[in-house]
Structure formats: structure tokens, C-alpha cells
């Protein structure tokens, strides 16, 4: 490595030239990606929080209509999450984006089905 003396004369400083390592470029998401992420988060809130207002979590049993309404809100929120994940996938063409968006949506629907079944049919 070629070195040049420092201005004060003490020690040496690396010579000015090309860097051995590329500069760090931090990711800067664009507005569309942030919008899809916000829509996905809104879908998550609809899928998880809205059914809790319809059938409270501490309630042991629920009417069939209330349980189905809560389940339909979970499915609606999951569909919003899937749509946002699909939009991100179309923008980036990255399979992991769709996977990270779709798995929580499917898990919300599966949990909603289990909760609707236990609150409706278990006494």
C-alpha cells in the first residue's frame, strides 16, 4: 500500500486513490413500497383487532352470527394483506416479498377459523 506523509509529518495516511471497498448505500424505499406496506399493516389491524371488538377475547361462547361476522372481518383483512403483498411482488418481482406478506395472512385466516369454531361449537 502506498502511503503519503501526513500534513503534520507524524505517521502516514493512505494515498488518495480508489477505495478497496464500495461505499455503503443504505436502502431507500420508494413511496409505492411504503404505501403497500402501510396497506398491509391496515389489513393486519382489520384482521386481528376488528374481530376482537365483535366477539371479545374473554367471552367463552358467542352467537353463530357474531362469530361468522368476526371471521368474515378476519378474512377481509387477510384479503387486504394478500392484495398488498401481491402489489409489492408485482413491483419488485421478489418471491420473498409475496411469501412474507402471504404467510401472516393465511395464519390469520387459520386462527380466525379456529376461534370461530371454538367460540361457536364449544360450550
Task: Please name the residue ranges forming H helices in the chain.
Answer: 31-48, 50-54, 64-92, 95-121
pLDDT score, position 24: 83
pLDDT score, position 52: 93
pLDDT score, position 116: 92
Exposure on the CB side of residue 90, measured as CA atoms within 13 A: 8
pLDDT score, position 11: 58
DSSP-derived 3-state class of residue 14: strand
Distance, in Å, from the CA atom of 73 to the CA atom of 107, rounded to the nearest integer, reads 14
pLDDT score, position 12: 61
Distance, in Å, from the CA atom of 39 to the CA atom of 84, rounded to the nearest integer, reads 6
Domain ranges of the chain: 29-121
Taking only the tens of pLDDT, the chain with its 123 residues reads 556 655 665 656 566 667 678 888 888 889 999 999 999 999 999 999 999 999 998 888 899 999 999 999 999 999 999 999 999 999 989 889 889 889 999 999 999 999 999 998 886
pLDDT score, position 121: 84
Residue 95's CB is within 10 A of a number of other CB atoms, namely: 9
Amino acid at each position: 500500500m502506498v502511503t503519503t506523509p501526513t500534513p503534520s509529518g507524524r505517521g502516514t495516511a493512505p494515498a488518495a486513490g480508489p477505495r478497496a471497498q464500495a461505499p455503503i448505500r443504505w436502502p431507500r424505499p420508494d413511496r409505492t413500497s411504503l404505501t403497500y406496506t402501510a396497506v398491509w399493516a391496515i389489513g393486519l389491524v382489520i384482521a386481528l383487532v376488528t374481530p376482537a371488538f365483535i366477539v371479545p377475547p374473554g367471552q367463552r361462547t358467542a352467537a353463530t352470527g357474531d362469530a361468522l361476522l368476526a371471521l368474515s372481518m378476519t378474512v377481509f383483512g387477510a384479503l387486504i394483506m394478500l392484495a398488498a403483498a401481491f402489489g409489492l411482488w408485482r413491483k419488485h418481482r421478489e418471491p420473498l416479498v409475496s411469501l412474507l406478506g402471504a404467510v401472516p395472512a393465511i395464519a390469520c385466516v387459520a386462527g380466525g377459523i379456529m376461534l370461530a369454531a371454538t367460540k361457536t361449537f364449544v360450550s
